[in-house]
């Protein structure tokens, strides 16, 4: 295609895929993925439960069955799903059942929600390989993605917003 400046290149949008991970409180997980090249966007929310459009308070009550998750939109030509799963093992302790550090409850469970049979196979293979790094058994569930519910706006990019305002996280990061 020829345009007014003589270029024959056409701009085509990047192909994107989604990946969804539960690894404890979603704030730190989201921040870790936002830093990766090839990640186009992130959103925090809830997955794996039995209530439509749950609120944060409902999820924290432990009655909805949801996990706090980070959904990652990525360009598979720039970052592979395998790389995203590798990052998942690094950002939390997958041997803790229904908790991460001081956060306790089913909503903090370790889970990979796959969006395709290929993602399921990669996640299972990666889990088996990652087990070699841990002394305790990995308790991470690998489940089909059945419905992502976005968390309230104030949760989106929470740590980034807080550091920009000079909050505790910003102080800890030397900002």
Q: Which residues are catalytic?
A: 25
SS3 103: strand
165-174 own/partner pairs: CB under 8 Å, 24+ apart: none
Instruction: Judge contact between 31 and 23, C-beta under 8 A.
Output: no
In whole angstroms, what is the distance from residue 129 CA to residue 163 CA? Answer: 35
Which helix H or strand E contains 73, and what residues bound it?
A: strand 67-74
Q: How far apart are CA 126 and CA 128, in angstroms?
A: 5
Residues in the chain, overall count: 175
């Amino acid at each position: 295609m020829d345009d007014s400046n003589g270029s024959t290149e056409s701009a085509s949008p990047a192909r994107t895929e989604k990946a969804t991970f539960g690894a404890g409180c979603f704030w730190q997980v989201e921040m870790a993925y936002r830093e990766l090249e090839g990640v186009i966007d992130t959103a925090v929310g809830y997955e794996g439960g039995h209530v439509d459009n749950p609120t944060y308070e409902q999820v924290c009550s432990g009655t909805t069955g949801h996990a706090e998750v980070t959904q990652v939109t990525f360009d598979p030509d720039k970052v592979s799903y395998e790389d995203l799963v590798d990052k998942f093992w690094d950002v939390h302790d997958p041997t803790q059942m229904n908790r991460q550090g001081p956060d306790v409850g089913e909503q903090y469970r370790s889970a990979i929600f796959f969006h395709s049979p290929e993602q399921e196979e990669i996640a299972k293979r990666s889990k088996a390989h990652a087990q070699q790094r841990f002394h305790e058994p990995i308790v991470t569930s690998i489940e089909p993605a059945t419905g992502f519910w976005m968390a309230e706006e104030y949760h989106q990019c929470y740590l980034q917003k807080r550091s920009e305002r000079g909050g505790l996280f910003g102080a800890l990061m030397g900002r």
